[in-house]
Amino acid sequence: MQYRPLGTTGLQVPVIGLGTMTWGEQNNLQQACEQMDYALKRGVNLFDVAEMYPVPPRPETVGETERCIGEWFAQSGKRAEVTLATKVTGRAEQKQSGLSHIRGGTRLSRGHIRRAIEGSLERLQTDYIDLYQVHWPERATNYFGARGYRHQPESDGISIEETLVALSELVDEGLVKHIGISNETPWGAMQYLNLAKQHNLPTVISVQNVYNLLNRQYETGMAELCVRENIGLLAYSPMAFGVLSGKYLNNQKPSGARLTLFDRFTRYDSPQTLAATEAYADIANRQGLSLAQMSLAFVCQQNFVASCLIGATTMEQLKENIDAAEVVLSDEVMAEIEDVHNAYPDPAP
């Protein structure tokens, strides 16, 4: 397994990281433990979770993913071998459906962050988090597929400074080693960086944003900023909710698959996305590659990616995904991928 630096901290993370958001919903505890055992044996020692997982978020299951990891730590005794990343849920006021069961509506204030970290530490059965991330911004901006920015300063809410100060307190107390952001924009990332410099606070070392063959918007703005500022990308959804496995082509709806089970996931469901996926599948077939491995290898080969966060519901998928770390795409394949990208630029938001 190849490892890459995360920020300037000296922390090294595997180019393939283990995403976990199906555990407690599509996967039970035994299956989650089997995945963690196998991943660690393969050198995948970055586990990424969030207090609101599993997805889709429900009051009956919230926190179950962290509990799965905590149980595995307790049974295996391997906490020290893992770089553990979790997230504090972004702003979701009580009136919003889906997340009102978390602290009665989540905010990124000092009090909410304190309650969030205490809950995560208890569920994870650990006394520290290696990387604590803000899951999405407090303010109204573009994330989770939103296009067409509308400036709404009246909805800014808790300031980034208050959030950063609250996170710095956790670092000072040893509860958190490093901090990161997620679903952020260039403006938001620069605010965190500038405030850290101005007030001598911990700086963010990572950003976890979507990046895959169907959504390469990170390359516009965020990539340059993060390379220049030594912020590593933890690329999430590199398989576009499984669409880039090809399993949904030809109107297939595999039993147990995420897009079969949950109709709330429409981000990758459009004629343009389908056409692009078919074109990428054609490249993979002609090159003797699986679409899944080609998709993951493409993400891993980007110089701004610190780790590509995979997620699997079966051991077969997990093994194939981790194997992608060993796949090197030729210049020819990369050129063909660019041709498709130019024909269907970022079809998924």
Q: Is 113 helix (H, G, I), strand (E, B) or coil?
A: helix
Pure H helices in the chain: 29-41, 64-76, 110-124, 160-172, 186-199, 222-228, 258-261, 271-286, 291-300, 315-323, 331-343
Q: Is 308 helix (H, G, I), strand (E, B) or coil?
A: strand
To which H or E segment does residue 17 belong? strand 16-19
By the 8 A CB rule, do 213 and 240 touch? yes
Q: Which of 75, 6, 17, 77 is nearest to 46 (CA)?
A: 17
Q: Is 286 helix (H, G, I), strand (E, B) or coil?
A: helix
Reply yes or no on whether 53 is catalytic.
yes
DSSP 79-101: GGG-EEEEEE---B-TTSTTTTT
Q: Of 3, 38, 53, 268, which is the active-site residue?
A: 53
Query: What are the residue numbers of the active site?
Result: 53
